[in-house]
Structure 1
Amino acid sequence: MLIVQPYYPDGVSRILATEKIYAHLCPNPRILEYKGKTEQGILLQLATNGSLAKYLQQDSLVSATTRQKWALQTAEAVAYIHKQHGRVLGLDGSVQVDGGVCENAKSRMPGKADDEAGTETDIFALGSTIYYIMQGYEPFPELDTFEDEVVIQTRFALHEFPVLDNLLVGRIVHRCWSGAYAAVEEVVRDLRALST
């Protein structure tokens, strides 16, 4: 088991909210299973290989087919959460969503506040997540997430996206970033079509 959120005196409301979210979402094969809570924090199913982000950092030889499967599984997790009337601002890269939020300039829809959430912002962030899964690095790797935030957000706003030509799912990522999808299920549909 894994303690995902330790208890802190000022974080009790966050822990309670997270607990309610997991109770509402689980069980689902794309969501880490909620195992309960202890005095130390919330317990989740152990991801034996760790997060997808760490796995990709350690093994850059993962096949494009496997990466595409993981992109589909990630999109399925976000689609499931949306069906449950939930919103996700971003993913930590794990195929099984663990509740982590990775919202920064490289995954945040331009013109939106850090805490502004909705279907369109989730789809934009999903595009960045799929890009990361397929490429093994974030969009605009030459730019610093914090120091170059304005540059990154400006490029996204002007649709000056990272090169997607060599990316197997480039058209899908481009559609996520450009606002062409109305629902996450459309992203899932397009990813599934690539697998057939």
Structure 2
Amino acid sequence: MPGTPQPDPVDPAPPVNKVETATIKQKGELVAVGATSFVELLPDGDILKRPFPSNIHGNDRRREITTEAYVYDRLGPHRYLLQKKKWDPETCSLTLEYMPNGTLADYLAAHPDVSLERRKQWAVEAAGCVQLLHLALIYHCDIGPQNFLLDDRLGLKIIDFSGSSTDGSPTGIEPGFRYHDELSRGPSFKLDIFSLGSTMYFIMAGKHPFAELEDDEVIARFRARDFPDLTDVPLASVIQKCWSREVESVDDVINLLTV
């Protein structure tokens, strides 16, 4: 499989134009639509991820998919990653293996009775996914339950590296999962760890932090260090340390989870 060249540095992307539209020539069943791309299930059982064919932000969308392909090449095969099947640089089309159990977010919504043992294992695996990235100097920048898939044994795999930062590169993607306003100024391991804490909260509590509030109010609460009540939430102390920035690395998080 040919390697993917490292994408050019990213200028801050302009806000997505909500009237941005284009005709999508489908090759399979449409299974997901994101901010920058769409995902299809192909007849052969693989997943095809392509950028929106837009004339407005087309270059940005293609750069983001190229970043994702590059991250897969840089990390290589790993149990926390999908298998990269094919990369077409001409169309910026990325073919990946399919995970029929879907996202962690959707699975927990459909199976609220998941055991505490399984939830704790997911917390460890989520931290392991982030550790894999950070050891390679990659910051995900959008960690959340929507960006973890479940394999046939319900093991976690981290996905969606379109907005990731490599070697400190800027990214035009804004984090989409309940982040601390002070951490939103650029890619960093602190942003990933904070979002990991929110992901672990979702795993344990079955809901987003301050799920009943609007995003602006959530940011205001976090800015004031007013965090959700963790009474009776498993792994509360680890989650709190992630939110309060009391850990120096994801290695510390894993140590806390596995003592």
TM-score bracket for the superposition, by shorter chain length = 0.7 to 0.9
Task: Kindly tell me the number of residue pairs found equivalent between the two proteins.
Answer: 187
CA contact (8 A) 1:3 1:40 kept: no
Structure 2 segments unaligned to the other structure (5+ residues) = 1-45, 149-155, 164-173
Q: CA RMSD in A?
A: 1.9
CA contact (8 A) 1:107 1:129 kept: no
TM-score normalized by structure 2? 0.67
Q: Which has the higher helix share?
A: 1
State the Cα deviation string for residues 122-180 of structure 1 (Å, max 9, x = none): 110110111111111100011123xxx1x211211222111112111110000000010
- The aligned runs of 1:1-196 (5 Å cut-off) are 1-6=46-51, 8=53, 10=58, 11-37=61-87, 41-93=93-145, 94=148, 95-99=156-160, 103-104=175-176, 106-113=177-184, 116-145=186-215, 149=216, 151-193=217-259
TM-score normalized by structure 1? 0.87
Structure 1 segments unaligned to the other structure (5+ residues) = none
Write the distance in 1 (CA, Å) between the matches of 2:102 and 2:51: 18
Write the distance in 1 (CA, Å) between the matches of 2:182 and 2:207: 23
Deviation at 1:7, TM superposition (A): 5.6
Q: Give the SS at the match of 2:105.
A: helix
CA contact (8 A) 1:107 1:124 kept: no
Q: Give the SS at the match of 2:157.
A: coil
CA contact (8 A) 2:144 2:198 kept: no
Structure with greater Cα Rg: 2
Write the distance in 1 (CA, Å) between the matches of 2:218 and 2:227: 9
Q: Give the SS at the match of 2:77.
A: coil
